[in-house]
């Protein structure tokens, strides 16, 4: 098998720019819509929304690699780093590390990409999980081939083999130079979607670290998008990739055998556009949720607060099929009589509306509160 980096035109990727042009225009249009919507969120809610969006990205970029983190710990760490927490609650190393990387990405998106940037991110990612690697905060040095494999140990399927460790310094010098020269103020500037997709396939083809390449590669794509937009994108890229994880890995495998990458760039551009639409919907949903709470602030008891928050986690329609008394009892651990009184109170306050009778009774958000 001849990999992309073994071919004479490496790393001069080629692609059909005309096929990306309508996608680039759509990206810029929806970016304006997102930032317009985000400006309608007040400062306090904007802080909380930023925490939610970044924590979801941290969770999902880790889940893509099979690592499952704790959302509450991530959000605690993010609040501490953004100066929004007033305690020193201890956060597990893995959650602290990925959140530190995401905050550094958020604050320093405009800075050039340097080796030290990547080394710092790698140290953060590997926090508390360094037993399996030789080099933390540096490019790999081992002499064994760096391969992406699956299947049985005695007969593995090799999905990709990266350049040898001895080439890492040279490859990463060229990569960082390319990334900085293709920035909006660079000598070889590229449109947003093309640059983000190129950056990802280029970086993961080099695979410079012993571990963490996927997470850092996605962070580089988000840095690229933010630079082209001139502000943090807060885009749900990892969230969107994780929902179709197999397609992502299939496209990577197809694309690491050639330097003609039109299909990869179209796939990645469409993934970014879907991520952008998802993010815009989440901002609009957050605005609706904030308006709902503003109208009813201070009118819920702790049980009702808990159930309303749980309904919002399900989305703007609440529970599929509606909230039942059994749901309420399960969430609050209260008696049926108390649940019945609480639910009737929520209907009288106009927070919920009721349908059905007896065991078919269900409760939904009052749509008049959500417009």
The pLDDT tens digits for 92-122 are 999 999 999 999 999 999 999 999 999 999 9
Buried b (16+ CB within 10 A) or exposed e, 39-74: eebeeebbbebbbbbbbbbbbbbbbbbeeebeeebb
Share of the chain above pLDDT 70, in %: 99
- Phi then psi for 151, rounded to 5 degrees? 90, -165
Upstream peptide bond of 45 is cis (omega within 30 degrees of 0): no
pTM exceeding 0.85: yes
Longest dimension (CA), the chain: 75
Residue appearing with tokens 């759509």: 26
Residues in contact with 29: Cβ distance below 8 Å, sequence separation at least 6, in sequence order: none
Burial of 261 (C-beta count, 10 Å sphere; 0-12/13-18/19+): buried
pLDDT given for residue 240 in this prediction: 96
What is the predicted pLDDT for the residue at 45? 81
Whether 371 has a pLDDT exceeding 80, the answer reads no
CATH fold, domain 298-370, is Arc Repressor Mutant, subunit A (1.10.10)
- For the residues 179-184, what does the mean pLDDT come to? 98
Asked whether the predicted pLDDT for residue 316 surpasses 80, the reply is no
Q: State the chain's mean pLDDT as an integer.
A: 94
Higher-confidence position of 344 and 88: 344
pLDDT per position as a tens digit, 51-80 = 999 999 999 999 999 999 999 999 999 999
More confident site: 124 or 233: 124
pLDDT, tens digit (0-9, with 9 covering 90-100), for 182-220: 999 999 999 999 999 999 999 999 999 999 999 999 999
Higher pLDDT, 370 or 247: 247
Could you state, in order of their start, the residue ranges of all structural domains in the chain? 4-286, 298-370
C-alpha 333 chain-centroid distance: 33
Question: 4-286 in CATH: which number?
Answer: 1.10.3290.10
Closest of 176, 214, 179, 198 to residue 98, by C-alpha: 214
Q: What Rg, from alpha-carbon coordinates, does the chain have?
A: 24
Beta strands per DSSP E along the chain: 147-151, 156-161, 352-355, 362-365
Mean pLDDT of the 306-333 span? 90
Sorted by sequence, the CB contacts under 8 Å of residue 219 that are 6+ apart come out as 61, 101, 102, 105, 121
Average pLDDT over residues 302-318: 88
């Amino acid at each position: 098998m001849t990999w992309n980096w073994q071919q004479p035109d490496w790393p001069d990727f080629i692609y059909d720019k005309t096929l990306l042009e309508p996608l680039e225009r759509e990206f810029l249009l929806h970016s304006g819509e997102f930032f317009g919507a985000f400006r309608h969120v007040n400062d306090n809610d904007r802080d909380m929304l930023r925490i939610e969006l970044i924590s979801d990205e941290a969770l999902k970029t880790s889940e893509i690699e099979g690592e499952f983190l704790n959302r509450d710990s991530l959000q605690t760490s993010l609040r501490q780093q953004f100066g929004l927490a007033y305690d020193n609650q201890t956060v597990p190393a893995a959650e602290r590390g990925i959140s530190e990387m995401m905050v550094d990405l958020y604050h320093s998106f405009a800075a050039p990409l340097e080796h030290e940037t990547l080394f710092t991110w790698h140290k953060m990612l590997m926090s508390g999980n360094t037993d399996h690697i030789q080099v933390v905060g540096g490019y790999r040095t081992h002499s064994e081939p760096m391969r992406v494999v699956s299947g049985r140990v005695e007969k593995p399927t090799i999905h990709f083999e990266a350049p040898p460790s001895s080439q890492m310094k040279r490859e990463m010098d060229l990569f960082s130079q390319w990334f900085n020269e293709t920035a909006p103020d660079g000598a070889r500037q590229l449109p947003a979607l093309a640059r983000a997709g190129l950056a990802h396939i280029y970086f993961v083809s080099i695979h410079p670290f012993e571990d963490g390449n996927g997470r850092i590669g996605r962070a580089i794509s988000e840095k690229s998008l933010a630079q082209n937009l001139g502000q943090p994108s807060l885009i749900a890229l990892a969230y969107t990739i994780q929902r179709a994880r197999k397609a992502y890995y299939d496209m990577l495998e197809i694309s690491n055998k050639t330097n003609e990458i039109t299909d990869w760039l179209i796939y990645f551009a469409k993934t970014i556009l879907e991520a952008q639409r998802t993010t815009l919907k989440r901002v609009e949903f957050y605005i609706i949720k904030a308006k709902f709470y503003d109208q009813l602030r201070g009118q819920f008891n702790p049980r009702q607060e808990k159930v309303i928050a749980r309904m919002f986690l399900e989305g703007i329609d609440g529970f599929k099929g509606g909230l039942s008394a059994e749901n309420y009892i399960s969430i609050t651990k209260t008696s049926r009589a108390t649940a019945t009184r609480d639910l009737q109170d929520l209907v009288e306050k106009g927070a919920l509306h009721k349908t059905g009778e007896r065991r078919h009774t269900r409760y939904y958000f009052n749509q008049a509160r959500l417009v």
